[in-house]
Structure formats: C-alpha cells, structure tokens
Structure 1
Amino acid sequence: MIPQRVSLVTLGARDLANLRAFYQRLGWEDTPASSDDYSVFTTAGVLLSLYPYKDLALDAGLSVETTTEAKPSFRGITLAVNVEEPELVDVAIEKARAAGATILKEPVEAFWGGRSAYFADPEFNVWEVAWNPSAVFDETGAMLSF
C-alpha cells in the first residue's frame, strides 16, 4: 500500500537561484538543507523543494529537452495556498505581485462560494490562492478538509 499523503513537492527549476529568490521574496524561509544546488521550504504539512530541472528529469528516468529556454505554458497542475479569511487572498496576491509573480487571475468571488486568484512564479509554476468558507485547518495551518 502507498500511504495516502503528499510529503514533498519538487519543482524542476531552470534557474534555481532566481526561483529560490522568488520564494524568499514571498517571505518563505528555506531550511538548513538548502544550498545553491537544492532548496527546501517548509510549508504547513508538505515540503516544497526546488531542484535543477534537467537533474530532476534524469533522476526520474525521463529525457531532457535540448533547448535552454522554455516557453511558459500550462503544465496541467496547480499548487494552492488556502487562507483563513477572504481578504487574505487579496493580501497574498499583492505579496506575490511585489515578489515578481505574473498575476493570471485577480481575486474574485468564486462560483463555489469562496474567493480565489491565480499567479505564476518566474518559471510559470501556477499557484492558486483561495479562501474556502468550509475549510478546516489544524494548528500548524495545514488544511484538513473542505
């Protein structure tokens, strides 16, 4: 059996130093395990790591594209930060904008009853910032259900 949990999310970084600096500008602190070649951020419940794109592909047994510049495109995955109050969506999006994010969708009242917005980091990893009125968080800030 595979345990039903997500422990670590790793983003393949084309420019690790730049991507690491972006997350630091968001106010996220990386762990002592971080270096110029690998970075790890502690979040509520899941570790977020940054690892060189080509090394990550090779480690997974995948081929690596030969071009050095990637055209930003949607990869079919979003990451999310859920917040405890609707106005915190707006606060988070302004922090992301100030850190250099591309705002994909300004904060709006969502059809499902919450508030939501989207941004992309410098390498076009897409993040949603959302407030869900039925979200339940534990004492660490990890979302348990909604």
Structure 2
Amino acid sequence: MIPQRISLITIGAKNLPALRSFYQRLVWEETEISSDQYAVFKTAGVLLSLFPIEELAKDAGIPVEEAAKSGFSGITLAINVDKKEDVDHAIELVREAGGTILREPSDAFWGGRTSYFTDPENNCWELAWNPDSVFDERGAMISF
C-alpha cells in the first residue's frame, strides 16, 4: 500500500535565492535546513521545498536537456513512506498500475531512499523514505 498523503511539494527554481526571498517576504516560516541551495517552508499539511530546477530534473532521472521537451513542469509531489523497504514495494505498485518509472529505487546521498515516477498525465512524483522524517498523528510530515 502507498500512503494516501502528499508530504512534500518541490518547486524547481530557476533562481533559488530570489524565489526563497519571495517566500521569506510573505513571512513564511522556514525549517532549520534552509539555505540558498535548498529551502524548505512549513505550511499547513505539507512542506514546500525549493530546489534548483536543473538539480530537480537530474534527481528525478530526467536528462536536463530533455526536461522541457518531456513536459516536465519543474514541480514534483512527494509521498514519504514509513520504512526504507516501503519505497521498493510502493514503486512496484506504481509499475503495476501503469506509472512510468523515471528512477528506480536507490539509496540517496542524504541518507534516505528514493524513486521517481510519472502518472498517466506526466505529473512527476517522488517516493521517498527519510530516516529523519517526523509525521503528526494524521500522517502529515511536519519536519525532516
């Protein structure tokens, strides 16, 4: 089973410091890991992250030069799972349901496990396990 939740929305930023500054001027609270290379803002229900668009495409397994042609919007939705092995199980469910796997499950440089897929309308999703994720009683991720 894949948890029925969206944990994180990532916007691929063309100018991350400028985009981060915009959200700061809205007086949105950032997490302690935020920087001009990767920023995360707390919202009601999900976390909003900003990541350079080229790095986001690369992380999703989309060659940067093909990102625009492939219909990649520069936005990914993430489902964070509870256990490392859940990433592998969930991606098999996605495969069986007809999703397109962009990046097979693999261990991430930041200590978790991740995989990317697109749904039938080419919306880009990440399945991830982060050992530092904290969820509230409803299953919403409140920090990592």
TM-score band w.r.t. shorter chain: 0.5 to 0.7
TM-score by length of 2: 0.53
**What whole-Å deviation, never above 9, does each CA across 1:12-71 have from its counterpart, x for those lacking one?**
xxxxxxxxxxxxxxxxxxxxxxxxxxxxxxxxx46xxxxxxxxxxxxxxxxxxxxxxxx7
- How far off is 1:135 after superposition? 0.3
- CA RMSD in angstroms comes to 1.9
Partner of 1:5: 43
Matching residue within 106, 109, 114 for 2:107: 109
- How far off is 1:139 after superposition? 1.3
Q: Distance in 2 between matches of 1:90 and 1:143?
A: 20
Partner of 2:75: 77
Amino acid in the other structure paired with 2:90: A
Percent identity reads 62
Amino acid in the other structure paired with 1:120: T
Q: Distance in 2 between matches of 1:87 and 1:141?
A: 18
**What whole-Å deviation, never above 9, does each CA across 1:60-118 have from its counterpart, x for those lacking one?**
xxxxxxxxxxx742110100000110000011101111111000000000000000000
Partner of 1:133: 131
The count of corresponding residues between Structure 1 and Structure 2 is 84
**Structure 1: which 5+ runs fail to align?**
7-44, 47-70
Amino acid in the other structure paired with 1:104: L
Q: Distance in 2 between matches of 1:121 and 1:72?
A: 13
Give the number of the structure whose alpha-carbon radius of gyration is greater: 1
Q: More helix by proportion, 1 or 2?
A: 2
Amino acid in the other structure paired with 1:136: V
Amino acid in the other structure paired with 1:124: N
Contact 1:72 1:123 in 2 (8 A): no
Q: Distance in 2 between matches of 1:5 and 1:113?
A: 24
TM-score by length of 1: 0.53
